[in-house]
């Protein structure tokens, strides 16, 4: 984006009345702020968050305001070397000399404590920090340009330690594309960034603070030529290459990368045109990073791959737009792109640099700022689901009844203060099917909802004899003065479908909040048919414009039926 294009976007912007972005720095942001605001207007044309900054040498003012009146809004803290020590700047009024290491460390300790206090006062709102590049340091050491003296290394280590401590406490560290120092504007106007770097850094910051897409959920890979080098049906297990040497090395690294993604919550699956008798024993015979148990689903047959991808998505109970596919066959990729355009189909690399590009692209598609316990055990939960399905199919099912679940030993634990659990917001933002409105909420939205009069957030954790589902239901809303609960959102993980948990949770809300009715709004997203069915099954009253209403007696009667059928035990996490 050219500067004139950015300025044109800002001639008549539409700003949000409720959302801001705090830019906290001690330098004058100039074009960086311009580009930040322009990218936000481009991204949110109807109601863009407004960027608030405090100008040159106003770091403390920015820290105070963004931790008080503006504390619920996202904040981008862009540090300078002068924030660590005033002599670490070309603009210093003191000597152009590297401070002693002990003095640098003392200043770093003070800065760390100040920023920890700032982060704590922000109460969980999204906070981001950027560490300045080494190129912004003055030439205060006695070494040649391009070499790093002891003073520069000490300053870099001290500031990196400050950022690491902030990250440990929940702050998000950004690595923006910033390198050179704009000496002209730094000395003339107090801005260290060139126009070009301002544009690149601001664009990347907006992408990271306001991700343009939802995190993907499943990665489906081909086997021959993708998970290993060679063709299993022709070469046999002994001749395929997968180890940490030669032609097999990239595939070995790829398998370890997939294992990492699995540990961060991604479903792994494979889809291959092969005979099962040739493929499945390979995972037992060969010592590879991945085992068959690491895959939540697989298809090993000669059916068209789009059909198999549909089946895998259905088995995992996710949408096709949550699926990423990696395959080495261009014809298969073209077919998938034609038949299933919502699936992200990527080619297996042919060379080393291509592998790095694939890893970076997959990392971006599956990235998350937080890995929950539910993420780490997701594949195990999928295996438990297969056991449950087998047990359920063995029972004689009664139409409209959940009595086949009686032997499952269901136990639901309700938490009343779930605003403070990061899993609550995570579940709201990742659930598509059982979701009343499809809305996605930022940490700032979450804090504002928490502060509303009568606000509540209940969550529920489910266990059965096969294992622990984790937190699978979240209800958010407010109790109105008229004694009715306004339900702004109820979401449920697809892993818990078909157990009546949502009805039981709604009944618990009525008793806990002592309300006479529950009302809300439903928005058809094209993906949330299960939520619509839930409202229909409860025979809610539709009052127009997507509004619905349920009485407490109707909710409690439905909840009692579920409890009687399933023999589910329900308790509070507070005893």
Length of the chain: 575
Q: Cα–Cα distances in Å, from 535 out to 451, 509, 528?
A: 28, 16, 11
Has residue 214 got a pLDDT over 70? Answer: yes
Q: What one-character-per-residue DSSP string does 459-483 give?
A: EEEEEETTEEEEEEEEEEEEE-TTS
pLDDT bucket at 124, cuts 50 / 70 / 90 = confident
* Amino acid 460: pLDDT: 94
Domain end point (choices 188, 209, 230): 209
Give the other-Cβ count within 10 Å of 384's Cβ. Answer: 18
Encoding tokens for residue 48? 């863009």
Q: Cα–Cα distances in Å, from 359 out to 60, 353, 354, 367?
A: 40, 10, 9, 11
**Alpha helices for 406-546 (secondary structure H):** 422-430, 443-451, 501-513, 529-537
Q: How far is 209 from 187, CA to CA, in rounded Å?
A: 30
For tokens 């949110």, the residue is 44
Has residue 551 got a pLDDT over 70? Answer: yes
As a whole number, mean pLDDT of residues 158-183 equals: 93
Q: Please state the separation of Cα 378 from the chain's center in Å.
A: 15
Has residue 384 got a pLDDT over 60? Answer: no
* Amino acid 468: pLDDT: 84
Domain end point (choices 209, 237, 256): 209
* Amino acid 270: pLDDT: 94
Encoding tokens for residue 68? 């008080």
For residue 333, the SS3 value is helix
State the burial class of residue 110 (Cβ atoms within 10 Å of its Cβ: 0-12, 13-18, 19+).
exposed
Has residue 391 got a pLDDT over 70? Answer: no
As a whole number, mean pLDDT of residues 356-382 equals: 78
* Amino acid 465: pLDDT: 85
Has residue 377 got a pLDDT over 70? Answer: no
Q: How far is 361 from 367, CA to CA, in rounded Å?
A: 10
Has residue 169 got a pLDDT over 70? Answer: yes
The answer for residues whose C-beta is within 8 angstroms of residue 467's C-beta and 6 or more apart is: 380, 381, 384
Tell whether 557 is covered by a domain.
yes
* Amino acid 376: pLDDT: 64
Has residue 306 got a pLDDT over 60? Answer: yes
Has residue 261 got a pLDDT over 50? Answer: yes
Identify any residues that bridge with 200 across adjacent strands, giving them in sequence order: none
Q: How far is 482 from 235, CA to CA, in rounded Å?
A: 73
* Amino acid 383: pLDDT: 54
Has residue 234 got a pLDDT over 90? Answer: no
Domain span holding position 94: 3-209
Residue 357: which CATH number?
Answer: 3.40.50.1000
Tell whether 371 is covered by a domain.
no
The answer for residues whose C-beta is within 8 angstroms of residue 392's C-beta and 6 or more apart is: 404, 405
565, 471: one domain: yes
pLDDT bucket at 386, cuts 50 / 70 / 90 = low
Tell whether 90 is covered by a domain.
yes
pLDDT of 463-499, one tens digit each? 988 888 889 999 999 999 999 999 999 999 887 888 9
DSSP 229: B
Q: Are 290 and 258 in contact (CB under 8 A)?
A: yes
334, 304: one domain: yes
Strands 547-551 and 541-544: antiparallel
In sign, the C-alpha dihedral spanning 387, 388, 392, 393 is negative
Q: How far is 347 from 343, CA to CA, in rounded Å?
A: 13
Q: CA geometry: angle at 447 spanning 486 and 552, to 5°?
A: 20
pLDDT of 182-209, one tens digit each? 999 999 999 999 999 999 999 999 999 9
Q: Are 43 and 9 in contact (CB under 8 A)?
A: no
Encoding tokens for residue 250? 């990239």
162, 290: one domain: no
As a whole number, mean pLDDT of residues 424-434 equals: 89
Tell whether 531 is covered by a domain.
yes
239, 256: one domain: yes
Prediction pTM value: 0.79
Of residues 543, 542, 419, the one with CA closest to residue 489: 419
Q: In this predicted model, which residue has the larger pLDDT, 390 or 16? A: 16
173, 307: one domain: no
191, 226: one domain: no
249, 132: one domain: no
Q: CA geometry: angle at 459 spanning 453 and 460, to 5°?
A: 155
Q: Are 186 and 236 in contact (CB under 8 A)?
A: no
Tell whether 382 is covered by a domain.
no
Encoding tokens for residue 153? 């290394």
Residue 145: which CATH number?
Answer: 3.40.50.1110
479, 335: one domain: no
Number of domains in the chain: 3
Has residue 397 got a pLDDT over 50? Answer: no
Has residue 4 got a pLDDT over 90? Answer: yes
Residue 509: which CATH number?
Answer: 3.40.630.30
Percent of the chain exceeding pLDDT 90 equals 68
91, 117: one domain: yes
Has residue 361 got a pLDDT over 70? Answer: yes
* Amino acid 396: pLDDT: 41
Q: How far is 268 from 246, CA to CA, in rounded Å?
A: 26
Q: 157-161, 262-266, 375-379, 456-460: which range is least confident on average?
A: 375-379
529, 412: one domain: yes
Of residues 210, 215, 211, 261, the one with CA closest to residue 432: 215
Q: How far is 31 from 216, CA to CA, in rounded Å?
A: 34
Tell whether 375 is covered by a domain.
no
pLDDT bucket at 393, cuts 50 / 70 / 90 = very low
Q: How far is 459 from 424, CA to CA, in rounded Å?
A: 7
Of residues 127, 141, 359, the one with CA closest to residue 250: 359
134, 236: one domain: no
pLDDT of 25-76, one tens digit each? 999 999 999 999 999 999 999 999 999 999 999 999 999 999 999 999 999 9
Domain end point (choices 209, 239, 258): 209
192, 255: one domain: no
For tokens 């599956």, the residue is 366
Q: How far is 435 from 524, CA to CA, in rounded Å?
A: 9
Q: How does the average pLDDT of the chain come out, rounded? A: 90
350, 337, 318, 491: CA torsion to nearest 10: 110
What are the backbone angles phi and psi of residue 437, rounded to the nearest 5°? -130, -15
Tell whether 143 is covered by a domain.
yes
* Amino acid 378: pLDDT: 58
Tell whether 469 is covered by a domain.
yes
Kindly state the helix (H) or strand (E) to which residue 25 belongs, with its residue range.
Answer: strand 15-25
Three-state DSSP string of 29-95: CCHHHHHHHHHHHHHCCCCEEEEEECCCCCHHHHHHHHCCCCCCCCEEEECCHHHHCCCCCCCCCCC
pLDDT of 63-85, one tens digit each? 999 999 999 999 999 999 999 99
pLDDT of 247-258, one tens digit each? 989 999 999 999
């Amino acid at each position: 984006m050219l500067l004139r294009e950015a300025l044109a976007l800002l001639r008549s912007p539409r700003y949000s009345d409720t959302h801001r972005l705090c830019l906290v720095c001690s330098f004058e942001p100039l074009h960086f702020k311009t580009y930040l605001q322009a990218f936000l207007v481009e991204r949110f044309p109807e109601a863009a968050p407004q960027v608030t900054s405090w100008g040159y040498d106003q770091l403390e003012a920015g820290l105070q305001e963004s931790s008080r009146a503006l504390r619920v809004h996202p904040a981008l803290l862009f540090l300078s070397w002068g924030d660590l020590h005033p002599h670490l700047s070309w603009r210093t009024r003191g000597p152009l000399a590297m401070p002693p290491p002990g003095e640098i460390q003392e200043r770093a300790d003070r800065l760390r404590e100040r920023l920890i206090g700032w982060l704590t006062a922000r109460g969980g709102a999204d906070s981001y920090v950027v560490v300045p590049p080494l190129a912004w340091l003055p030439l205060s050491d006695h070494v040649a340009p391009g070499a790093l003296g002891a003073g520069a290394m000490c300053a870099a280590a001290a500031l990196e330690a400050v950022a690491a401590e902030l990250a440990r406490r929940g702050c998000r560290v950004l690595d923006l594309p910033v390198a050179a120092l704009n000496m002209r504007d730094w000395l003339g106007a107090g801005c260290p960034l060139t126009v070009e770097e301002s544009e690149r850094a601001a664009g990347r910051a907006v992408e990271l603070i306001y991700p343009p897409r939802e995190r993907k959920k499943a990665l489906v890979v081909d086997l021959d030529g993708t998970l290993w080098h060679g063709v299993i049906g022709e070469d046999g297990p002994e001749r395929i290459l997968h180890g940490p040497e030669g032609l097999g090395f990239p595939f070995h690294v790829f398998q370890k990368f997939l294992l990492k993604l699995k540990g961060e919550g991604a479903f792994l699956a494979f889809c291959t045109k092969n005979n099962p008798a040739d493929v499945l024993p390979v995972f037992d015979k060969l010592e590879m990073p991945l085992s068959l148990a690491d895959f939540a689903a697989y298809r090993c047959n000669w059916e068209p791959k789009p059909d198999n991808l549909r089946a895998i998505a259905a088995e995992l109970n996710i949408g096709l737009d949550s699926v990423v596919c990696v395959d080495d066959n261009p014809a298969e990729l073209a077919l998938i792109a034609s038949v299933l355009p919502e699936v992200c189909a990527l080619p297996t690399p042919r060379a080393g640099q291509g592998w790095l590009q694939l890893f970076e692209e997959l990392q971006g598609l599956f990235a998350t700022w937080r890995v929950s316990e539910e993420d780490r055990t997701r594949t195990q939960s999928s295996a438990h689901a297969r056991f449950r399905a087998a047990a359920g199919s063995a029972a004689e099912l009664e139409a409209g009844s959940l009595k086949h679940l009686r032997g499952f030993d269901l136990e639901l634990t309700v938490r009343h203060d779930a605003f403070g659990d990061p899993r609550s917001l995570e579940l709201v933002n990742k659930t598509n099917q059982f979701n009343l409105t499809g809305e996605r909420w930022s940490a700032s939205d979450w804090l504002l909802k928490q502060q509303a009069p009568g606000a509540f957030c209940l969550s529920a954790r489910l266990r059965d004899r096969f294992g622990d589902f984790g937190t699978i239901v979240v209800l958010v809303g407010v109790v109105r003065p008229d004694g009715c609960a306004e339900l702004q959102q109820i979401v449920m993980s697809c892993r818990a479908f078909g157990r009546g948990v949502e009805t039981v949770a709604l009944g618990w809300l009525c008793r806990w909040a002592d309300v006479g009715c529950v009302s809300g709004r439903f928005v058809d997203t094209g993906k949330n048919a299960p939520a619509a069915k839930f409202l229909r099954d409860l025979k809610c009253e539709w009052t127009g414009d997507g509004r619905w209403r349920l009485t407490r007696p109707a909710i409690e009667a439905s909840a009692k039926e579920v409890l009687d059928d399933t023999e589910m035990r329900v308790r509070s996490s507070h005893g």
